[in-house]
Structure 1
Amino acid sequence: MFFGKLLPKEGNFFELFNEHGKYIAEGARSFTSMIQYYSTADLREKYAAEVDNAERAADKVTAEVNRLLHRSFITPIDREQIHGLINAMDDILDLLQDSSEVMALYNVQNVNEDVIRLGDISLKCCERVQHAVSLLPKLSQPEVAEAALKTCEEIDRLESDADRVMRSAMSKLFRDDIDVKELIKLKAIYEHMESISDRCEDVANLIEGVVLENS
């Protein structure tokens, strides 16, 4: 009896997932704004700082989920699913921050159309992740479970779009006559940005697993 009092039966995991999802969407919007206003140094730095703030805030949520997981006796979904999901979500913001930092470290002065397109796809993916995560508390309702699966399918399609954009961008890099330093910079940026959608797809796959196991 005493042991049971020490371990809460169920924590507020879904609320924490929602909070983290909010930071993912906020970070993605700031990252996209940074790209949009990249040629204006003050705005670029402002939005880059917002990405950093979102990443730090999300780290705190991730840490709280992991602490709560150790303290909780009963969890709303499988413990491994909780651990995998929050860490996959955290990877998204890490890559948003990494992509922002790579641009600064490489002293990129201007962004091209392919970077803008990858940024737009990243934002759409992140917003879809936030939406899918928000549905987790009500997956017992068939219509909600169906909506979650549909959102995950949308993320998969967006990830495929990001793949196509990156392949096209890479092809242009090695086909056109371009300075070697610029090629190295852009290649790294493309790879980082495409990985954002990959991590969103990881979250979608985990959510699909939760839906299928609990439907």
Structure 2
Amino acid sequence: MLFGKLLPREGNFFELFDQHGGFIVAGARSFILLIQNYGDPALREKYANDVGIAERQADRITAEVNRLLHKTFITPIDREQIHGLINAMDDILDLLQDASETMSLYDVRAMTDDILRLGDISAKCCERVQHAVSLLPKISQAEAAEAAIKTCEEIDKLESDADRVMRSAMSKLFREETDVRELIKLKAIYELLESISDRCEDVANLIEGVVLENS
């Protein structure tokens, strides 16, 4: 009991989640600008760098959350939920950076309409992740809990949209792309972008669990 009294209670986990969500949105918006301006090498480099900055800032938040978990006696929600949520959120930015770096590494010729569509869906998912996370401190209130669940359902729908775009993109790619190297490059990019919405759905599922257990 003495050990518990010496450790802080609660911690600022929700604030850190919200900060991390902000970096996710910043990274997603920079990624959208990257693919929209892919033909301009200077802008491409700038926005790729911005994605990396957001990813590193989010990494620091993740490290702080994990550090707080070790020193906080009583947490506002289950420890495993905190750990799972922050690491799933961090994966989103890791994937955004992976997609950005893969485009540069593979020297993709140009952006396709399907890359733009998948990027747009990913960015919308990221915005909704931030919104859902921002509601966590208030989920004891019915209105906030309902809003969080609704936002998670929107993420689920967007992930289904990404699946449909992905299937169509792959079908078109294998039918029409005659350059094998370009086919391999684009396939890798499509898979990375689709995995971003998958990871957002994972976050949504975790948030739904938190809401159902704590509202």
Give the TM-score range, shorter chain: over 0.9
Give the secondary structure class of the aligned counterpart of 2:75: coil
Q: Name the structure 1 match of 2:181.
A: 181
Q: Name the structure 2 match of 1:142.
A: 142
In structure 2, stretches of 5+ residues that fail to align are none
What is the CA–CA distance in structure 2 between the aligned matches of 1:210 and 1:4, rounded to whole Å?
24
Question: What number of residue pairs does the alignment pair up?
Answer: 215
Calculate the TM-score normalised by the size of structure 1: 0.98
Query: Structure 1 pair 148/177, CA: closer, same or farther in 2 (3 Å)?
Result: closer
What is the letter of the counterpart of residue 83 of structure 1? H
> 4+ runs of 1 displaced by more than 6 Å?
none
Q: Name the structure 1 match of 2:193.
A: 193
What is the CA–CA distance in structure 2 between the aligned matches of 1:28 and 1:6, rounded to whole Å?
40
Q: Name the structure 2 match of 1:164.
A: 164
Calculate the TM-score normalised by the size of structure 2: 0.98
Query: 5 Å matches for 1:86-165?
Result: 86-165=86-165
Checking the alignment, whether the CA contact within 8 Å between 1:38 and 1:109 is kept in structure 2 is no
In structure 1, stretches of 5+ residues that fail to align are none
CA shift for structure 1 position 6: 2.9
What is the CA–CA distance in structure 2 between the aligned matches of 1:112 and 1:85, rounded to whole Å?
32
Q: Name the structure 1 match of 2:205.
A: 205
Checking the alignment, whether the CA contact within 8 Å between 2:177 and 2:183 is kept in structure 1 is no
What is the CA–CA distance in structure 1 between the aligned matches of 2:154 and 2:116, rounded to whole Å?
20
What is the letter of the counterpart of residue 9 of structure 2? K
What is the CA–CA distance in structure 2 between the aligned matches of 1:94 and 1:29, rounded to whole Å?
14
Query: 5 Å matches for 1:17-96?
Result: 17-96=17-96
CA shift for structure 1 position 108: 1.2
What is the CA–CA distance in structure 1 between the aligned matches of 2:63 and 2:8, rounded to whole Å?
18
CA shift for structure 1 position 5: 4.5
What is the CA–CA distance in structure 2 between the aligned matches of 1:107 and 1:205, rounded to whole Å?
35
What is the letter of the counterpart of residue 126 of structure 1? C
What is the letter of the counterpart of residue 186 of structure 1? L
- Over residues 98-134 of structure 1, what are the superposed CA-to-partner deviations in whole Å (9 max), with x where a residue is unaligned? 0001100001131010000001001000000000000
What is the CA–CA distance in structure 1 between the aligned matches of 2:7 and 2:39, rounded to whole Å?
53
What is the letter of the counterpart of residue 66 of structure 1? N
Identity of aligned residues (%): 78
CA shift for structure 1 position 191: 0.1
